């Protein structure tokens, strides 16, 4: 039995599960569960009301079904909406009080929570199932006035900031999954960078789903005040389980005048086994609002995991001269499916956006780029450049491009390019002639294909992502 | 929809139809009653809600059309620049045929075909067409025959029409090694009609089809044209749209490349002003190996007009070595205009070369400056740039006399 488990882990090394006693809300989605979550987090009344309002809308909303990857109906009553390690009933005050099993889990994942083993100066907020377990480097950040903590903590300590910005980019009147998240979100990260501060280190959240039958609904809120800068990283893994698990997070970014937010994701949720059994449904809503003048939001994502990835990190370019960027690599193998892309909504004058999307599909998988560029009539002198390239490996997989382009302003320009091709025999031959085996050759060529996006990632992540790109495609050639 | 039911029953009674035809028509009528006109909820109609447009421009439609007596045809609608065969449809009813310059045994035009398709279409406008168009027409080009002169199909409407909905359906069959050139010329004198035209083309081995659709003259009708093309090996289809005159127009083309080495070319020009709203939707299905498709669509938009281009290249997993290309470009001349595009790729084979590009923006100020510094007025410079932009599409036309004719009709000097 154990050997079999180990064999499985070879393919997905984060597939282990931690045996830890959990404390869960009763199964099912109803008002009581929402009250339970709100109560256990000692939330103020306005937030509970807000959650219930969202829940009332969820009841009447229908799940969208226009996406390419179809999935079996999710029974929302058969999920746990809150799951926390039992030791968290009273939140531990410091790392010393933290359950050693948890620390071990994160060590295994390569995320040391212990600050002595500092991770090249990256501050980490670790989220385990429904709760944030630890946030590192708090002192260094507090000195600069930066707030980096779990959103539950922020609700207690900085209610004004949370109240002002929560739901201002993804309102509770949004689509089904976003609204569901508003109703039942459990934890996530909160970042506030005060005016004029350049955050001295990378901030990072590490998401881990452990418990079975659990949906993970976290909410991240990042506010960059005037003239500030922050770079934020997000990583995710989950154990291997035969059933599909739902992950429906909301991420809201707000950039005020002259502020810049850089948001990078390396998504490596469990993708299911070779026959497409199990895996995470990654239905995430990510949206950034360039609220102020000269603000900038840049999304970078490397999507290699999940059974189904369905997300569109978007930018609303409201402030004049604001800039939105989207860099994406999506890799699907075996039976994975992805429908991902971005939306660039130009509202302000002189706004600019850039989209670089690289999709690679292998095995029996299906990859779709779906994007919207919308330049409104008042958005003078705006421009967009979009490039989406797809690479196919084998003829059992699919690669699709569905861009929506709307230009309503005569002084604005939109340029869009897309290509689909395969790795040419000449390229492979050239590499193999120089002593690489076929897998190394493919990995090299694919990394070259992705280079434009990988360059955008912070150093440590880029190395990791490069490896991941190679691993995800293992066994797809020859 | 009340109108539709009563009008449909009236039409059914008058037509001299076989039992099978009645059944087919009723089935289509039922389907149309159920679906109604497409609206924004339909992915294919996301950018142009024909339901709303009909309501706004025409109001409640009247579907019943009386059989009209064949009257004299105004000579002024005919084109004299080019020698041609004629099919003249007045208000959707056949008024004149003329194939005198062709060999009689090689080309056949039949006007009493059973109007029955094998499958029920999942397009409510085609359902409407099937329910209301009476006998369908069929043009057959026999083996090894190359048509000598182009065929011009005149689509004429006048104010004698009793319905506000004109439906027409023609089937074209091109046997092996044959060729056909068709020009669809819109000549409307009627006002505020919804015109619904459905063509089926079947191209056998080595056949060549050239279809030019010309909607040049100002009219305030709402137009929907659907070309369904099925191609066998080595066949070529070339479709060109000049989309200009109607208040609303949507041209849809669906092309199945079913034989190896078959190819499809779709080119189009939108030249719009005065609140007009035109759309081209092209879907090319590459179903076997070694097929090729090419699409080029350009828009020049002025004065509150809108154009939409929805192009899709579908590549089946069997269709290795596919070459597919799409390019759409638009010049937005003033602030009130809008250009929407959805250039889609859906690909299931790996050894393919598929790409698309789309660009939209204003007239290039630097180019205008360059021309003006060489003595042209602003107006002349603008015209030169726009014409140069559009003529690239017209130059894709492979038939020289027709290219000249279209340039003429559009008002371009020959030196372009």
Q: What is the ipTM for the molecules in this complex?
A: 0.80
Is A478 a residue whose pLDDT tops 50? Answer: no
Phi, psi of B82 (to 5 degrees): -140, 140
Mutation for testing the B interface, residue in A407, A421, A422, A473 having most B CBs under 10 Å: A407
State pLDDT tens for residues B109-147: 888 777 777 777 788 888 888 888 777 788 888 888 888
- Beta bridge partners, B250, equal B224, B279
How far, in Å, CA of A200 to CA of A458, rounded? 13
Residue B158 CB contacts under 8 Å (≥ 6 apart), including other chains = B90, B91, B189, B190
**Contact of B287 with B319, CB cutoff 8 Å:** yes
Instruction: Check if B334 contacts A (Cβ < 8 Å).
Output: yes
How far off is chain B from A386, nearest CA to CA, in Å? 9
Give me the pLDDT at residue A1, please: 42
Higher pLDDT, A439 or B318: B318
- Beta bridge partners, B300, equal B271, B331
Q: Which residues of B touch A395 (CB under 8 A)?
A: 317-318, 320, 348-351
pLDDT band at A120 (very low <50, low <70, confident <90, very high): very low
pLDDT band at B374 (very low <50, low <70, confident <90, very high): very high
Give me the pLDDT at residue B126, please: 85
pLDDT band at A427 (very low <50, low <70, confident <90, very high): confident
How far off is chain A from B52, nearest CA to CA, in Å? 20
Give me the pLDDT at residue A12, please: 66
**Contact of B300 with B390, CB cutoff 8 Å:** yes
Is B266 a residue whose pLDDT tops 90? Answer: yes
How much is the average pLDDT of A146-169?
A: 87
How much is the average pLDDT of B376-400?
A: 90
**Cβ <8 Å between B338 and A407:** yes
**Cβ <8 Å between B43 and A66:** yes
Give me the pLDDT at residue A92, please: 54
What are the tokens at A338?
A: 């992805």
Residue A224 CB contacts under 8 Å (≥ 6 apart), including other chains = A193, A230, A253, A254, A255, A256, A259, A260, A261, A295
Is B305 a residue whose pLDDT tops 60? Answer: yes
How much is the average pLDDT of A363-378?
A: 90
Burial of A277 (0-12, 13-18, 19+ CB in 10 A): middle
Q: Which residues of A touch B342 (CB under 8 A)?
A: 402-405
Q: Which range (A161-175, A327-341, A451-465) has the least confidence? A: A451-465
Is A4 a residue whose pLDDT tops 60? Answer: no
Is A93 a residue whose pLDDT tops 90? Answer: no
Q: How many helices (H) and strands (E) does chain B have?
A: 7, 19
Question: What percent of chain A has a predicted confidence (pLDDT) above 90?
Answer: 19
Higher pLDDT, B344 or B118: B344
User: If we measure between CA atoms, which residue out of B277, B77, B244, B61 comes closest to residue B161?
Assistant: B61
How much is the average pLDDT of A451-464?
A: 76
Q: Which range (A7-21, A281-295, B219-233, B244-258) has the least confidence? A: A7-21
Give me the pLDDT at residue A118, please: 46
Give me the pLDDT at residue A373, please: 92
Give me the pLDDT at residue A117, please: 47
Residues 5-44 of B with CB under 8 A from A: 43
Please spell the DSSP secondary structure of A266-324, one letter per residue.
EE------TTS-SEEEEEEEEEEEE-STT-EEEEEEEE---SEEEE--EEEE-STT-EE
Question: What percent of chain B has a predicted confidence (pLDDT) above 70?
Answer: 97
Q: Residue B333: which of A397, A410, A415 has the nearest Cβ? A: A410
Q: Residue B360: which of A66, A398, A407 has the nearest Cβ? A: A407
**Cβ <8 Å between A400 and B361:** no
How far off is chain A from B186, nearest CA to CA, in Å? 29
Instruction: Check if B314 contacts A (Cβ < 8 Å).
Output: no
A and B: number of Cβ contacts within 8 A = 115
């Amino acid at each position: 039995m154990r050997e079999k488990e180990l064999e499985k882990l070879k393919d997905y090394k984060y597939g282990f599960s931690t045996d830890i006693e959990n404390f869960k809300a009763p199964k099912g989605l109803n008002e009581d569960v929402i009250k339970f979550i709100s109560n256990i987090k000692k939330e103020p009344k306005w937030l509970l009301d807000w959650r219930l309002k969202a829940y009332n809308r969820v009841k009447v909303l229908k799940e969208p079904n226009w996406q390419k990857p179809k999935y079996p109906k999710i029974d929302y009553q058969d999920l746990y909406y809150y799951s926390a390690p039992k030791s968290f009933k009273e939140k531990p005050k410091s790392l010393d009080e933290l359950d050693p099993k948890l620390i071990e889990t994160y060590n295994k994942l390569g995320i040391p929570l212990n600050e002595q083993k500092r991770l090249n100066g990256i501050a980490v907020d670790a989220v385990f199932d429904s709760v944030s377990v630890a946030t590192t480097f708090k002192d260094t950040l507090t000195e600069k006035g930066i707030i980096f903590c779990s959103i539950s903590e922020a609700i207690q300590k900085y209610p004004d900031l949370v109240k002002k910005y929560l739901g201002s980019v993804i309102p509770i009147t949004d689509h089904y999954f976003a609204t569901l998240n508003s109703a039942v979100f459990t934890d996530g990260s909160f970042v506030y960078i005060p005016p004029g501060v350049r955050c001295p280190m990378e901030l990072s959240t590490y998401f881990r789903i452990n418990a079975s039958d659990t949906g993970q609904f976290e909410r991240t809120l990042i506010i960059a005040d005037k003239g500030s800068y922050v770079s934020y990283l997000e990583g995710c893994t989950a154990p291997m389980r035969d059933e599909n698990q739902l992950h429906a997070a909301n991420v809201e970014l707000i950039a005020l005048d002259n502020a810049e937010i850089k948001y990078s994701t390396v998504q490596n949720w469990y993708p299911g086994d070779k026959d497409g059994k199990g895996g995470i449904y990654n239905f995430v809503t990510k949206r950034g609002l360039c609220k102020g003048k000269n603000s900038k939001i840049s999304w970078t994502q490397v999507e290699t995991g999940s059974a189904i990835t369905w997300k569109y990190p978007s930018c609303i370019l409201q402030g004049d001269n604001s800039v939105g960027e989207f860099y994406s690599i999506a890799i699907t193998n075996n039976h994975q499916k992805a429908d991902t892309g971005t939306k660039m909504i130009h509202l302000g004058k002189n706004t600019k956006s850039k989209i670089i999307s690289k999709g690679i599909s292998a095995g029996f998988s299906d990859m779709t780029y779906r994007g919207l560029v919308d330049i409104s009539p008042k958005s003078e002198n705006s421009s967009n450049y979009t490039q989406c390239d797809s690479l196919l490996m084998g003829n059992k997989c699919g690669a699709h491009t569905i861009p929506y382009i709307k230009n309503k302003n005569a002084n604005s320009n939109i340029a869009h390019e897309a290509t689909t091709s395969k790795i040419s025999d000449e390229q492979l031959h050239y590499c193999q002639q120089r002593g690489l085996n076929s897998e190394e050759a493919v990995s090299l060529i694919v990394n070259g294909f992705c280079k434009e996006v990988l360059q955008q990632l912070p150093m440590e992540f880029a190395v990791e992502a490069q490896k991941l790109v190679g691993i995800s495609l293992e066994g797809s050639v020859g | 929809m009340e109108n539709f039911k009563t009008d449909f029953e009236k039409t059914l009674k008058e037509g001299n139809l076989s039992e099978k035809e009645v059944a087919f028509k009723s089935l289509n009528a039922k389907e149309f009653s159920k679906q109604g006109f497409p609206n924004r909820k339909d992915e294919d109609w996301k950018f142009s809600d024909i339901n709303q447009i009909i309501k706004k421009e025409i109001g409640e439609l009247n579907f019943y059309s009386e059989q009209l007596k064949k009257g004299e045809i105004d000579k002024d609608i005919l084109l004299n620049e080019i020698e041609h065969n004629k099919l003249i449809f007045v208000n959707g009813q056949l008024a004149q045929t003329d194939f005198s310059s062709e060999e009689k045994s090689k080309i056949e035009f039949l006007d009493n075909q059973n109007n029955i398709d094998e499958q029920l279409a999942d397009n409510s406008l085609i359902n409407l067409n099937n329910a209301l168009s009476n006998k369908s027409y069929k043009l057959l080009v026999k083996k090894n025959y190359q048509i000598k002169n182009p065929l011009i199909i005149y689509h004429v409407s006048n104010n004698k029409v009793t319905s506000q909905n004109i439906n027409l359906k023609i089937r074209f069959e091109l046997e092996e090694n044959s060729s056909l050139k068709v020009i669809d010329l819109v000549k409307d004198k009627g006002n505020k009609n919804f015109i619904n035209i459905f063509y089926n083309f079947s191209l056998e081995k080595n056949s060549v089809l050239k279809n030019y659709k010309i909607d040049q003259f100002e009219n305030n009708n709402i137009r929907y044209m659907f070309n369904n093309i099925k191609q066998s090996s080595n066949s070529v289809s070339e479709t060109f749209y000049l989309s200009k005159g109607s208040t609303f127009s949507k041209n849809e083309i669906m092309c199945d490349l079913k034989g190896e080495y078959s190819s499809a070319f779709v080119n189009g020009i939108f030249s719009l002003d005065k609140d007009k709203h035109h759309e081209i939707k092209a879907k090319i299905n590459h179903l076997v190996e070694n097929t090729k498709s090419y699409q080029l669509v350009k828009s020049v938009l002025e004065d509150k007009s809108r154009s939409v281009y929805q192009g899709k290249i579908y590549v089946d997993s069997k269709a290795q070595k596919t070459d597919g290309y799409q390019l759409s470009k638009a010049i937005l001349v003033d602030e009130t205009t809008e250009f929407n595009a959805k250039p889609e790729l859906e690909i299931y084979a790996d050894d393919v070369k598929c790409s698309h590009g789309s660009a939209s923006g204003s007239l290039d100020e630097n180019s205008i400056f360059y021309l003006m510094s060489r003595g042209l007025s602003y107006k002349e410079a603008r015209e030169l740039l726009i014409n140069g932009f559009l003529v690239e599409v017209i130059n894709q036309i492979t038939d020289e006399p027709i290219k000249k004719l279209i340039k003429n009709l559009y008002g371009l000097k020959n030196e372009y």
